[in-house]
A and B are shown apart, each in its own frame.
Chain A
Amino acid sequence: MIAEETITWHVACNIEDIPENGGACALIEGEQIAIYNFSRRGEWYATQNQCPHRQQMALSRGMIGSTGANNEPKVACPFHKKTFSLQTGECLSGDEYTIKTYPVKIADGQVYVGV
């Protein structure tokens, strides 16, 4: 049986607060959440802001991009360039880490993150 999880949507910021093709960090319910405006693809993503490698609150400052035949969207931590899938949170540079990902929706010029 799959337990049903309810998503609570929180207003994070205005659309223009997140730079195009980059990220910024929002404080939501005491958690640091990195939000990415992947405007090249018209997509939005959100992950935990902390890089699990050295526990640095830095992923929102990382470069985003894509990799592989399926163009998997990813972010690279600015500290040691560990990369993570924006879709699954899986570490793509060979480590055993996974980061939390969050759903994002856009309405009325505002960015909402589901926690």
Chain B
Amino acid sequence: MKKKIVVVGNGMVGYKFCEKLISKDVSKSFDLVVFGEESRPAYDRVHLSEYFAGKTADDLTMAPSSWYTENGITLYLSDPVVDIDKDEQTVRSHHGIVVNYDYLVLATGSAAFVPPIPGVEKDGVFVYRTIEDLDLMQAHAKTAKKGAVIGGGLLGLEAAKALLDLGLEETHVIEFAPRLMPRQIDEAGSKTLQTKLEALGLQIHLNKNTQEIVGNGIIEGMAFADGSKLEVDMLVISAGIKPRDEVAKIAGLEVGSRGGIIVNDKLQTSDPNIFAIGECALAHHMIYGLVAPGYEMAEVVATSIIGGEKEFKPFDMSTKLKLIGIDVASFGDAFIQEPNAQTIVFENTAKGVYKRINISNDGKYLLGGILVGDAEQYNMLLQNTKNKVLLPADPEDLMLGSRGGAESASSGVMALPDEALICSCEAVTKGNICHEIIENKVTTLDGIKKCTKAGTGCGGCVPMVKDLINETMKSQGVFVRNILCEHFDYTRQELFDLVKIKGYKTYNDVLDHLGRGDGCEVCKPAVASIIASLWNEMILERGNATVQDSNDRYLANIQKNGTYSVVPRIPGGEITPEKLIVIGQVAQKYNLYTKITGGQRIDLFGAHVSDLPDIWEELVNAGFESGHAYGKSLRTVKSCVGSTWCRFGVQDAVSFSIEVEERYRGLRSPHKLKSAVSGCTRECAEAQSKDFGIIATEKGWNLYVCGNGGVKPRHAELLATDIDSETCLKYIDRFLMFYIKTAEPLTRTAPWLDKMEGGINYLKSVVIDDALGMNSQFEQEMQFLVDAYKCEWKEVVNSPELRKRFTHFVNAPKMKDPYARFEPMREQIKAAEWK
């Protein structure tokens, strides 16, 4: 006989309970009946503000109605439970449906707390809680100009964001307390946040006590206790929440004096067959108004109904969130201060960053803290707090991160005790991970993820896990040699030399003679790149197509919905009107989204794989070549217009950039290569952020190397000054060959130089003074590659065999992937959002 569980409330936590129960109840011994008050199945209330930023109600839905049907759940919507009979074990709904239960789970959530201000009933006054509330706000906002929000807490600021998105001319935030987000951050943090919010167009009023909402039927303004007034025609009240405990009260369950259904550690109410979870429950004398503890409650109740043992422990309320694009985090005891603790504060008003950490008086432990504007250190700080890690001598290093120089060893992962929780999602300690590394020789991130589950939840601990693996191995005296992967016991540099000496031209040859097993997604593209760098043959021939990374295999960049983007080469960014027209016509014909890239080229997005050869046939016929945007190879050589037009230019930057681009086009390397040529010292082409950049001087060129944009921007270093064009190309030949031969896979030139002993001076001695005696070989090898260049796309277009591989369905070559979906945006298309 199946037992019946009735869930009252279909919000996020009620839904999560259903999901967890279904996954645990493998023997299908329970029937689930759910009553929801709203007309929609549960949706993501945390991201409600995105509703005005373009998300639809469907986007926010946790699971569609069909999910409930598929899992055998009976779902009654628009029908709240109005009565519970504890003795008969039945509930009665608003529409009169009576259902008996074995277990009852109350997940009724909370409602907005509306303070008793005269005038709250007027038109134009809203709460911010449900999609219906949002629809009402949206309708009213059409005629409104000035809006206000009462409440400067988390929800209030979310509501203010919603008003901004609705396009009101003025948005005011009214907070009773002297600071914003009073539960999470302190006054200095609030000031930083306020400055940033004001820059976004919000007007913030602190210490304001609203006394009356004025207007004749419709809101016209607000009057405050200090005598001031504010004209508004729209108001959102977001001053806090109150638990929905009405039905529990009617049923005679115990509730707290200030609301909330009282529950024990197992989340049972005063009737052991009735549970309460989420924002309606009063656990450990507190209402947990965040979704994470709500989900944990769902887990606890689902586990214990299924017969397991689990208790709800006081939940850590540390939070990190992005508020209108601004990082705000607080952790541990955020507010503790002298004389109970010492605080260290960092403030950068120019950047809008505020950080505070609280440490114990003996200087040993981190107790908590606040981060506004930059919360990158949140994870490490939270770990240090939770695990009571002994602090390093300069605790501010923890808060500010590495500021160059040697990182203090004691602030890293090795200082954590064995019981330190590294992955809080899966409850994995440092001891668990080190045990796997030392005893079971698991030394890869994937291996650790698999055997411990660490890093499989939110993923926030992954960098720490990686550090742990490396540091633990070093401490074991293991020489960490960067071998390619489990299939090759060689570094990339060793493999490069071996493949050259043996003359191997296919991946299978390399694997058969130098490796073991069947290869993988790490060694395949790395070896493919080595082969391409050595011989510069068509990368899709000789069975090498399937060892290329997807982008190289299809000679295009895979995008979000499985379609590809197409980038024709436009050397130096110079293009004729005729060619521009061709690009436009191709884009029109194949319905492609067009955008100018950062490298002065044009990217065409949304090409179906089966259209790629046809698209390229048209481009090749018009004189275009592959731009290699998909490859770990030379991308673009950007240029400014130079002395041909510019009144400041001292050299012809465009001509030289075209010469450079055409020399190195198609060159495969350990990572992508970017370059630029500027016609004078004003540097409009931004050459100093490139892997190799050239800047014109009165006498010739200055050559810079190893610059980088991207994640870790870095200025290029000056390699040579006032050299002529021929010398410049010679130096670039040598530099590039040296890089291609010695860099680790997927290492850009900047980190390659960082790891080089002797740095730029050593590089100069190799490239200019021929310290290795390799330069004539480097130049010969480069000339071989330059001479061997052919346009890959031209070869595909002219080969029926190769063209055949560009299909989505082998048994329906003309058919396109129906899952490749698009959405309209600004008169073009974009890829459909993924889940």
For the complex, what is the distance from the CA of A76 to the CA of B549, rounded to whole Å? 10
For the complex, what is the distance from the CA of A23 to the CA of B805, rounded to whole Å? 10
Nearest A residue to B511 by beta-carbon distance? A40
For the complex, what is the distance from the CA of A96 to the CA of B523, rounded to whole Å? 25
Beta-carbon contact of A94 and B519 below 8 Å: no
Query: Are A66 and B545 also in contact (CB < 8 A) when A61-B550, A78-B558 are?
Result: no
Beta-carbon contact of B810 and A61 below 8 Å: no
Max chain B C-beta neighbours (<10 A), residue from A21, A26, A62: A21
Q: Which residues of A contact B805 (CB under 8 A)?
A: 19
Beta-carbon contact of A26 and B545 below 8 Å: no
Interface members, chain A 21-38 (any B CB < 8 Å): 21-28, 32, 35, 38
Beta-carbon contact of A25 and B524 below 8 Å: no
Beta-carbon contact of A54 and B834 below 8 Å: yes
Beta-carbon contact of A20 and B517 below 8 Å: no
Q: Which residues of B contact A35 (CB under 8 A)?
A: 810
The contact sample of 18 A-B pairs, CB cut-off 8 A, is A19-B546, A20-B543, A24-B807, A25-B810, A27-B812, A32-B817, A38-B518, A57-B808, A57-B817, A63-B525, A66-B520, A76-B520, A81-B521, A83-B520, A93-B446, A94-B450, A94-B455, A94-B456
Q: Which residues of B contact A41 (CB under 8 A)?
A: 518
Q: Which residues of B contact A66 (CB under 8 A)?
A: 517-520
What is the distance, in angstroms, from B783's C-beta to the closest C-beta of chain A? 32
Beta-carbon contact of B521 and A26 below 8 Å: no
Interface members, chain B 538-559 (any A CB < 8 Å): 543, 545-547, 549-551, 553-554, 558
What is the distance, in angstroms, from B61's C-beta to the closest C-beta of chain A? 16
What is the distance, in angstroms, from A57's C-beta to the closest C-beta of chain B? 5
For the complex, what is the distance from the CA of A115 to the CA of B426, rounded to whole Å? 36
Interface members, chain A 89-108 (any B CB < 8 Å): 92-96
Max chain A C-beta neighbours (<10 A), residue from B455, B543, B558, B809: B809
Beta-carbon contact of B520 and A13 below 8 Å: no
For the complex, what is the distance from the CA of A7 to the CA of B560, rounded to whole Å? 34
Query: Are A65 and B834 also in contact (CB < 8 A) when A78-B549, A93-B449, A94-B456 are?
Result: no
Q: Does A79 contact B (CB under 8 A)?
A: yes
What is the distance, in angstroms, from B192's C-beta to the closest C-beta of chain A? 35
Query: Are A55 and B834 also in contact (CB < 8 A) when A12-B810, A63-B549, A78-B558 are?
Result: yes
For the complex, what is the distance from the CA of A40 to the CA of B549, rounded to whole Å? 19
For the complex, what is the distance from the CA of A95 to the CA of B426, rounded to whole Å? 12
Query: Are A63 and B547 also in contact (CB < 8 A) when A25-B809, A56-B834, A58-B558 are?
Result: yes
For the complex, what is the distance from the CA of A22 to the CA of B553, rounded to whole Å? 11
For the complex, what is the distance from the CA of A91 to the CA of B171, rounded to whole Å? 48
Beta-carbon contact of A26 and B809 below 8 Å: yes
Q: Does B712 contact A (CB under 8 A)?
A: no
Nearest A residue to B544 by beta-carbon distance? A21
Q: Which residues of A contact B560 (CB under 8 A)?
A: 56
Nearest B residue to A76 by beta-carbon distance? B521
By a beta-carbon cutoff of 8 Å, the part of chain B in contact with chain A is 446, 449-450, 453, 455-456, 486-487, 508, 517-521, 523-525, 543, 545-547, 549-551, 553-554, 558, 560-562, 805, 807-812, 815, 817, 819-820, 834-835
Q: Which residues of A contact B455 (CB under 8 A)?
A: 94
For the complex, what is the distance from the CA of A68 to the CA of B508, rounded to whole Å? 19
Q: Does A114 contact B (CB under 8 A)?
A: no
Number of A residues with CB within 8 Å of any CB on chain B: 46
Q: Does A46 contact B (CB under 8 A)?
A: no
What DSSP secondary structure best describes chain B's contact surface?
loop
Beta-carbon contact of A63 and B521 below 8 Å: yes
By a beta-carbon cutoff of 8 Å, the part of chain A in contact with chain B is 12-13, 17-28, 32, 35, 38, 40-41, 50, 54-58, 61-68, 71, 73-74, 76, 78-79, 81, 83, 92-96
Q: Which residues of A contact B812 (CB under 8 A)?
A: 27
For the complex, what is the distance from the CA of A32 to the CA of B818, rounded to whole Å? 10
What is the distance, in angstroms, from B515's C-beta to the closest C-beta of chain A? 11
**Given contact pairs A12-B810, A55-B834, A94-B449, a sample of 12 additional A-B residue pairs in the complex whose CB atoms are under 8 Å apart:** A12-B811, A21-B543, A21-B546, A54-B834, A54-B835, A55-B835, A57-B819, A63-B520, A66-B518, A76-B521, A93-B446, A94-B450
Beta-carbon contact of A65 and B543 below 8 Å: no
Beta-carbon contact of B446 and A65 below 8 Å: no
What is the distance, in angstroms, from A52's C-beta to the closest C-beta of chain B? 11
Q: Which residues of A contact B453 (CB under 8 A)?
A: 94
For the complex, what is the distance from the CA of A38 to the CA of B546, rounded to whole Å? 11
Q: Which residues of B contact A79 (CB under 8 A)?
A: 558
What is the distance, in angstroms, from B768's C-beta to the closest C-beta of chain A? 40
Max chain B C-beta neighbours (<10 A), residue from A28, A50, A76: A76
For the complex, what is the distance from the CA of A25 to the CA of B519, rounded to whole Å? 22
Nearest B residue to A95 by beta-carbon distance? B456
Query: Are A40 and B518 also in contact (CB < 8 A) when A21-B543, A63-B547 are?
Result: yes
What is the distance, in angstroms, from B682's C-beta to the closest C-beta of chain A? 41
Q: Which residues of A contact B550 (CB under 8 A)?
A: 58, 61-63, 78
Q: Which residues of B contact A63 (CB under 8 A)?
A: 519-521, 524-525, 546-547, 549-550
For the complex, what is the distance from the CA of A96 to the CA of B546, rounded to whole Å? 27
For the complex, what is the distance from the CA of A68 to the CA of B516, rounded to whole Å? 11
Of the candidates B547, B551, B808, the one whose C-beta lies within 8 Å of that of A21 is: B547
For the complex, what is the distance from the CA of A38 to the CA of B809, rounded to whole Å? 19
Q: Which residues of A contact B551 (CB under 8 A)?
A: 78
Beta-carbon contact of B521 and A13 below 8 Å: no
Beta-carbon contact of B810 and A13 below 8 Å: yes
Q: Which residues of A contact B449 (CB under 8 A)?
A: 93-94
For the complex, what is the distance from the CA of A55 to the CA of B817, rounded to whole Å? 13
For the complex, what is the distance from the CA of A20 to the CA of B812, rounded to whole Å? 20
Beta-carbon contact of A24 and B547 below 8 Å: no
The 3 A-B pairs at the shortest CB distance, nearest first, are namely: A94-B449, A22-B546, A78-B550
Q: Which residues of A contact B549 (CB under 8 A)?
A: 63, 78
Nearest B residue to A26 by beta-carbon distance? B811
For the complex, what is the distance from the CA of A94 to the CA of B543, rounded to whole Å? 31
For the complex, what is the distance from the CA of A35 to the CA of B807, rounded to whole Å? 14
Beta-carbon contact of A94 and B446 below 8 Å: yes
